[in-house]
Structure 1
Amino acid sequence: MAIKHHYFFAVKLPNEVKSFLNEWVQKNKKTFPFKRWVHEQDYHITLAFLGNVEKELLSQTVKSAKVLLKGQRFSLTLNKIGTFGAVKSPRIFWADVEHSAELNNIQSFVYNHCLDLGFELDKKPFRPHITLARKWDSEQPFHQDSLTFITTEDGEKLTFTVNEIILYESHIEETPKYKEFASFPLH
């Protein structure tokens, strides 16, 4: 039986941002005992999760996105860490970015384009984040007061340029899990 892959549109993070986040994770892993840490190359900001997609629709999605997805490059700034799930035993540990009208606009565009193509998408409001780990793994409860800003050693926030949007294909049996299926450069 063939393995079915899932697909999602996401902001591709520059390698220096992935390295920065990975260094932060390595320094702080003991403070935050989560069960599964995300591989550095899998860091991204999801714009629209498509799930399993038939080949014909996938091809149509890539073709139409190449024509329509021609946005401008924009900057994002890493902000703070946070969690999703139960307060004392969170299921997702993440880093977010400061509010960005450009990011919200491109997410809305991608999301609506996917709806127009017939995809059934998650209806939760867009909450841009970079998943760092999953499943709290401690007898002690998670302390929300441990959530801080994510900064350089000098206390500065890291700002970076978003140069492309990627349609990723997931390979859950591999590490890293996400492979670039199609790239959409921003100009």
Structure 2
Amino acid sequence: MEQRTHFFFAVRMPEETKLKMKKHIEKLKHLIPFSRWVHHQDLHITLAFLGAAPEEKLSQAQSLVQEASKTTKPFQLRINRLGFFGNEHSPRVFWADTEESKELILLRNKVFSACEEAGFALETRPFRPHITLARKWKGEEAFQQTQLEMWNELQPDPLLFQANEVVLYQTHLQKTPKYEAIKVFPLE
């Protein structure tokens, strides 16, 4: 069965930050049992998930996102804690959180609107910025909320990084890393 490729727009994390997160992920892997851990090169903050995208819509979305990027200056983000989505005893997604950022919300709204204007029907859940670290709990015991406090041991101060660009990624589910940068839109 052929896998359809998907596309999404995201804030790319700088290489230096990805390498710091890689060290944290390696430590967390031994302490918190999840089935699939994200490759450090795939770390990002999703702004708009497009799914399978017709070429003409994708092209229009790229043009509109490029215009939106030109009106957004680079800004700082701070990774400050761990969290999860799903059942509190058996989470489906384990993630790192960023402190609230008005700039990130504004950028997400611009990218989201650009994609809607290009004709994409996007997810309507409220935006919850996060960096996915792992998926699918596989522990014998229930997940413990206290495990989220490990971040403070790994990174006592927030991990700062500069958001400099929006990237259009394409997924390749059979590869590692699985996200390929198709187009980069520098924040100006």
Instruction: Classify the TM-score, shorter chain.
Output: over 0.9
Q: What CA distance in whole angstroms lies between the structure 1 residues aligned with 2:127 and 2:9?
A: 13
Q: What CA distance in whole angstroms lies between the structure 2 residues aligned with 1:133 and 1:153?
A: 17
SS in 2 for 1:147: helix
Structure 1 runs, 4 residues or longer, greater than 4 Å off: 151-154
Query: What does the per-residue CA deviation read over 1:101-121, in whole Å, with 9 as the maximum and x for residues that have no partner?
Result: 000000011111111221111
Q: Which residue does the alignment assign to 1:121?
A: 122
Q: What CA distance in whole angstroms lies between the structure 2 residues aligned with 1:27 and 1:153?
A: 8
Structure 2 length normalisation: TM-score? 0.94
Once the two structures are TM-superposed, the CA of residue 42 in structure 1 deviates from its matched residue by 0.3
SS in 2 for 1:30: helix
Q: What CA distance in whole angstroms lies between the structure 2 residues aligned with 1:152 and 1:76?
A: 20
Once the two structures are TM-superposed, the CA of residue 63 in structure 1 deviates from its matched residue by 2.2
Greater share of residues in helix: 2
Once the two structures are TM-superposed, the CA of residue 60 in structure 1 deviates from its matched residue by 1.7
Alignment-mate amino acid for residue 117 of structure 1: A
Q: Which runs of 5+ in 2 are unaligned?
A: none
Q: What CA distance in whole angstroms lies between the structure 2 residues aligned with 1:83 and 1:124?
A: 16
C-alpha contact 1:78 1:157 (8 A) present in aligned 2: yes
Structure 1 length normalisation: TM-score? 0.94
Q: Which runs of 5+ in 1 are unaligned?
A: none
Write the mapping of 1:62-73 to structure 2, written as runs, cut at 5 A: 62-70=62-70, 71-73=72-74
Q: What CA distance in whole angstroms lies between the structure 1 residues aligned with 2:29 and 2:87?
A: 20
Write the mapping of 1:53-92 to structure 2, written as runs, cut at 5 A: 53-70=53-70, 71-92=72-93
Alignment-mate amino acid for residue 105 of structure 1: L
Alignment of 1:105 with 2:106, yes or no, is yes
Q: CA RMSD in A?
A: 1.6
Query: What does the per-residue CA deviation read over 1:105-141, in whole Å, with 9 as the maximum and x for residues that have no partner?
Result: 0001111111122111111100000000000011200
C-alpha contact 1:11 1:166 (8 A) present in aligned 2: yes
